[in-house]
Amino acid sequence: MQQETNEFDSMCGITDEELTRRFVEGVRLENEKKKILGVPVSVYDSVTKRAYLEYADGTREYVTAN
């Protein structure tokens, strides 16, 4: 019996780990670009369980729900 696959099951021989590594690196590069442009980066603090905006100078502005 022939196994059916689709394009999502076969990523041109790239492993899940490699795809994850590339994704993480892409996010890191985008955040560096935003810092250079002076655009705040959204971050989630898993310790305090709160989201905040981090500006290029390192200041943080915590997001509050209204």
- Residue 54 inside a domain? The answer is yes
Quick one: pLDDT at residue 13? 79
Per-residue pLDDT reduced to its tens digit, 12-30: 778 889 999 999 999 999 9
Burial category of 41 from C-beta neighbours within 10 Å (exposed 0-12, middle 13-18, buried 19 and up): middle
Per-residue pLDDT reduced to its tens digit, 21-55: 999 999 999 999 999 999 999 999 999 999 999 99
Question: Domain containing 48: what range?
Answer: 38-66
- Residue 5 inside a domain? The answer is no
Quick one: pLDDT at residue 6? 52
If one counts the domains in the chain, the total is: 1
Q: Is the pTM of the predicted complex or chain greater than 0.75? A: no
